[in-house]
């Protein structure tokens, strides 16, 4: 009999309604799976085991008493990336500088999860302060990919993706600043959705780059991603960038066909540096969408080559300002000094890791006197051009299809000594963040060695329904998500 932890959220919701299992059984099964495999994967930094069991028992009590479910997530566990505040829980951003800190309040998305009856299972590993693409920058050690423990799970939400793909979580919330939900979802063979900027409140998310950060779901399939987005999306007055737009029924948009949709293939996303297996899988996915009724044709996004340079100026500039608050005075790690300035410098030197320091220095330089116009202001102008590229493309098509990352998951340590190579790995996801639009990663195949490959579906601002519709139709036609659940890599090779 399949373990409860191998089912999707919507499948377990139906089982709970039918009395085929209990919330306590689901939580205990997940905790057993975590005990068996987290030592290998290092997906979780902290578990909320006692409170999760108590919340599950309360959900079972409500169900037994005949109370109506609070939402489709009622009584089901969800994991949180370690940069989302949850009252009383650690919120360390995988950094030594926040050792011992516990959040005094809930993030907006956590409030929404609690109100929906969801159970907070634990906190997942990440690149320190979300700065990285491999989850090797965590101060507490790297997370490993469930398909090959010698490879990275992607980043910065690598712990969340590894937990979902490895059967240690039904779903998780992550954050995406330049691809940090979509790229690990691609590397780990699950679904990851980066919503439109402002679609989900950032209140309670520890900021990396405030004009780019967005919270979104990582899940087993598109239906679960749609359910989670429906819970967490919506206006929040505490976040001035939160959009005042109605939240649609995302699940209602899911269908089996794509008749009438126009899908573009960005020419610049299929150029030099793209792994042949990744290109093969992405183009095959486009043909499958054509078979489902969509019109598929090439489009141009001419300013794509400038996206990485613009992003790493804008994001690091914002990071240098956002991370100034971590000073050892009010909370977190404190290294005493001879005076306040010495305390500040010693604390930050000891508390931040090498990648965080690199980005703070780069951002401070970009904002410094004499360089602001040459670097930061010019990067903002490039951002505008990239947004206009997408606007022009969406005049011709409803959504775009592209790879998520240029390569499948690479080996641990392969790029740690070459930051530029690591940064260039984000070239296909960064433009979506710069433009403030939405992107979805869904599994679209495997390499000959059994590594997952993701298809990126890009839609206009507030076009999540459209992206999910395309992703779901493709998913139902190919059923890749069934092959990615918890089979071994050798089993996947046999299924190709």
Distance (Å, whole) CA 257 – CA 472: 9
Tokens in use for 472?
Answer: 């779901």
Instruction: Write out the two tokens for 229.
Output: 């987005």
Say how far apart CA 353 and CA 158 lie, in whole Å: 17
3 state DSSP class of 362: helix
Per-position DSSP letters for 23-46, written without gaps between them:
HHHHHHHHHHHHHHHHHHH--EEE
Specify whether the CB–CB gap between 126 and 135 falls below 8 A.
yes
Which of 302, 467, 446 has the alpha carbon at shortest distance from 401?
Answer: 467
* Cβ–Cβ under 8 Å, residues 442 and 226: no
d(CA 239, CA 260): 37
Q: DSSP class of residue 489?
A: H
Give dist(CA 293, CA 483) in Å, integer.
25
Give every strand in the sheet of 262-266, ordered side by side. 44-47, 119-124, 77-81, 171-176, 214-219, 191-194, 438-446, 452-459, 399-403, 262-266, 295-299
The structure tokens listed for 23 are: 């919330």
Contact in structure between 438 and 448 (CB atoms under 8 Å)? no
Q: Which residues are catalytic?
A: 81, 156, 180
- Sorted by sequence, the CB contacts under 8 Å of residue 456 that are 6+ apart come out as 182, 186, 400, 401, 402, 403, 404, 428, 429, 439, 440, 441
């Amino acid at each position: 009999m399949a373990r409860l932890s191998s089912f999707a959220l919507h499948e377990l919701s139906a089982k709970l309604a039918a009395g085929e299992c209990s919330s306590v059984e689901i939580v205990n099964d997940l905790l057993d799976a975590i005990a068996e495999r987290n030592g290998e994967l290092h997906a979780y930094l902290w578990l909320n085991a006692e409170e999760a069991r108590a919340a599950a028992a309360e959900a079972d009590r409500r169900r037994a008493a005949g109370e109506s479910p609070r939402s489709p997530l009622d009584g089901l566990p969800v994991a949180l990336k370690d940069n989302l505040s949850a009252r009383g829980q650690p919120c360390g951003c995988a950094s030594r500088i926040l050792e011992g800190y516990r959040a005094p309040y809930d993030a907006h998305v956590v409030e929404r999860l609690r109100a929906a009856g969801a159970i907070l299972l634990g906190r997942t590993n990440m690149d320190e302060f979300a700065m990285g693409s491999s989850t090797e920058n965590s101060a507490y050690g790297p997370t490993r990919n469930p398909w090959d423990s010698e490879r990275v799970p992607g980043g910065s939400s690598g712990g969340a993706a590894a937990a979902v793909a490895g059967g240690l979580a039904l779903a998780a919330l992550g954050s995406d600043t330049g691809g940090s939900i979509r790229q690990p979802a691609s590397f780990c063979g699950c679904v990851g959705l980066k919503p439109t900027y402002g679609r989900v409140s950032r209140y309670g998310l520890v900021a990396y780059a405030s004009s780019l950060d967005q919270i979104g779901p990582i899940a087993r399939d598109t239906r679960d991603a749609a359910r989670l987005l429906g819970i967490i999306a919506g206006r929040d007055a505490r976040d001035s960038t939160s959009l005042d737009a109605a939240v649609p029924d995302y699940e209602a948009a899911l269908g089996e066909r794509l008749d009438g949709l126009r899908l573009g293939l960005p020419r610049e996303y299929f150029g030099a540096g793209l792994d042949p297996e990744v290109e093969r899988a992405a183009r095959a996915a486009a043909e499958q969408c054509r078979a489902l009724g969509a019109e598929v044709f090439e489009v141009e996004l001419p300013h794509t080559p400038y996206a990485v340079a613009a992003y790493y100026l804008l994001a690091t500039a914002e990071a240098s300002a956002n991370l100034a608050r971590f000073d050892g005075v009010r909370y977190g790690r404190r290294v005493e000094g001879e005076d306040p300035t010495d305390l500040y410098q010693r604390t930050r030197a000891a508390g931040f890791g090498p990648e965080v320091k690199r980005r703070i220095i780069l951002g401070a330089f970009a904002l410094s006197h004499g360089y602001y116009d040459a670097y930061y202001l010019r990067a903002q102008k490039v951002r505008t051009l990239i947004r206009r590229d997408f606007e022009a493309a969406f005049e011709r098509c409803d959504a775009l299809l592209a790879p998520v990352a240029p390569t499948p998951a690479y080996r641990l340590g392969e790029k740690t000594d070459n930051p530029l190579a690591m940064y260039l790995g984000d070239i296909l996801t960064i433009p979506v963040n710069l433009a403030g639009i939405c992107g979805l990663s869904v599994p679209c195949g495997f390499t000959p060695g059994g590594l997952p490959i993701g298809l990126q579906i890009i839609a206009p601002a507030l076009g999540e329904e459209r992206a999910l519709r395309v992703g779901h139709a493709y998913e139902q036609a190919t059923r890749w998500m069934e092959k990615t659940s918890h089979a071994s890599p050798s089993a996947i090779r046999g299924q190709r």
